[in-house]
Amino acid sequence: MKKTIFVILAVFAATLAHAQQPFQEGTTIANLGIGVGTNLGGLGNARPAVSIAVDHGFWDVGGPGVISLGGYVGNTGYKYNGSGNTSKWNYVVIGVRGAYHYNGFSSIPELDVYGGLMLAYNIASYSYEGGGTPVSNNYGSGLGLTAFVGGRYFFSENFGVFAELGYGVSALNVGVTYKF
C-alpha cells in the first residue's frame, strides 16, 4: 500500500512539474490588476485604479530568457466636492510594452520574473461644475516612455497572481493572471 501511494504521489509530482512551464516563445499571458498608490495626481475621493495588460513571448534569446511584446490599458480618477462645486479628474493610460522574462529558475518553474519598457499615451481630462461657468479640458495628456518590473506566480497551468512596479495608472499593480 505504501508503495502504491508513493508511485501515485511521484506521478502527480512529475505531472505538476511538467505542467508548469516558464514563460517561453509563444506564451500569451493576461493580467487584470488593481492599483495600489498612484503616479497620477488628484484630490478628494479616488476611484480604484484598474488595468489590463497582455504579453506575448516573441523571441527566445538563447539563454534563460524570452522577449515579449504586449499592450496595457489602465484607468483611474478622482472626484472632489466642496462649497457647491465639483471637480473631476480622469486618467486613461494606453501603451505598448516590451519585456525580458527571465526563466532561469528551474527549481521554481511557476515563477515568471520580468522587466521592461512601455511607450504610453496618458489621456488626462478634467472637469469643473458649480459656482460659475463649467470647465473641461484635456490638461496633462501626453506621450511617455516608462520602465516596469514584475513577477507572476502560477498556482496551476493557467492561473496565478502577479505584482508589478512601475508607471501605469498606479505605482504598484497586483491582481490575477491567466496564461493562454
Is the pLDDT at 134 greater than 90? The verdict is: no
Output the domain CATH number for residue 39.
Answer: 2.40.160.20
Please report the pLDDT score of residue 9 as a whole number.
42
Which of 48-57, 75-84, 119-128, 138-147 tops mean pLDDT? 48-57
Q: Concatenated DSSP letters for the chain?
A: -HHHHHHHHHHHHHHHHHH---S-TT-EEEEEEEEES-SS---SEEEEEEEEEEEEEEEE-SSSEEEEEEEEEEEEEEEEEETTEEEEEEEEEEEEEEEEEE---TT-TTEEEEEEEEEEEEEEEEEEESSSS-EEE-TT-EEEEEEEEEEEEESSSSEEEEEEEESSSSSEEEEEEEE-
pLDDT band at 83; cut points 50, 70, 90? confident
Q: What's the total number of domains in the chain?
A: 1
12: domain range?
2-179
